[in-house]
Amino acid sequence: MSFDGQVAVVTGGAQGIGRAVAEVLAGGGARLALWDLDGDLAAATAEEIGGGTLALQVDVADWSSVSDARDATLDMVDRIDIVVNSAGIAGSNAPVEDYSVEEFARIVTINLMGTFHVNKAVVPTMRRHGYGRIVNIASVAGKDGNPNASAYSASKAGVIGFTKSLGKELAGEDIAVNCVTPAAARTRIFDQMSQEHIDFMLSKIPRGRFLELNEAASMIAWLCSRENSFTTAGVFDLSGGRATY
């Protein structure tokens, strides 16, 4: 797929699925801007990707941080054609009755409010240029729910609903807004989970293995492409057969 002449923002692009997608988009000719809370890691990743990749330290949970990053990106590259919103956290595992109120709010703020902030920030510039592709990273947990992960499951269900809403708002324009619902991939997000929870997630995947990063990147890259000219407000499964709908 060709992304020549396009500018792509990838949040959480310093590592994991975000980095894998960034590498595919850059390989197709896109100019990349990595927005990540870990500014040093983002800078190192940008240097490794090359091609003039930009790195900005951004806290997606903070609207001012996101809007400042958008303005800084536009100052350097003038437009934003593609956004892959991959920044997020798993948070801790506990039954609802024992779940920390503060931890629940933190996870929802990063995963759901962060998605809102990033999408809100980039839609106006996409509308000005009459083109855009947005892919939000949800989770199969947002469809099925994972026990002892109520905050994560609820936040990702919110990302699905938000994506459907925004996709319908922009359906009359050449701006596609979709999300993917991955099963677990073995990234640093596993560091936030108990081994018991990791084993549970694996047991629910009919393919009997975790998602590979290149598999996620391939689907997401297509959703970012001009070839995806019809589908919007869609939810694309990456669960290895786990999802029931």
Residues shown for the chain: 245
Q: How confident is the model at residue 198 (pLDDT cuts 50, 70, 90)?
A: confident
pLDDT at 59: 98
Is 221 domain-assigned? yes
What value does the CA radius of gyration of the chain take, rounded to a whole number of Å? 17
- The number of C-alpha atoms within 13 Å of 106 and in the hemisphere containing its C-beta is 9
Task: Please list the alpha-helical segments (H only) found in 78-193.
Answer: 101-108, 114-129, 141-144, 150-169
Structural domain including 43 reads 7-236
Task: Please say if the pLDDT value at position 36 is more than 70.
Answer: yes
Q: What does the pLDDT average to over 186-209?
A: 80
User: What are 141-180's pLDDT values in tens digits?
Assistant: 999 999 999 999 999 999 999 999 999 999 999 999 999 9
pLDDT at 34: 98
CA nearest to 206, candidates 242, 163, 169 = 242
Could you report how far apart the first and last alpha carbons of the chain are, in Å?
A: 29
Task: Please list the alpha-helical segments (H only) found in 130-149.
Answer: 141-144
Q: Is 117 left (phi over 0), alpha (psi -120 to 50) or beta?
A: alpha
Q: What does the pLDDT average to over 5-24?
A: 97
Q: What is the CATH number of the domain that holds 62?
A: 3.40.50.720
Is 241 domain-assigned? no
Total number of domains in the chain? 1
Is 243 domain-assigned? no
Which tokens belong to 223? 């959703």
Report the distance separating Cα 243 and Cα 235, nearest Å.
11
Is 1 domain-assigned? no
Pick the catalytic residue: 99, 131, 152, 245? 152
Task: Please say if the pLDDT value at position 228 is more than 70.
Answer: yes
Q: Are strands 82-85 and 132-137 parallel, antiparallel or unpaired?
A: parallel
Catalytic (active site) residue 245:
no
Is 242 domain-assigned? no
Is 201 domain-assigned? yes
pLDDT at 192: 67
The pTM assigned to this predicted structure is 0.94
pLDDT at 189: 67
Report the distance separating Cα 140 and Cα 236, nearest Å.
10
Is 245 domain-assigned? no
Q: Which helix (H) or strand (E) holds 179?
A: strand 175-182
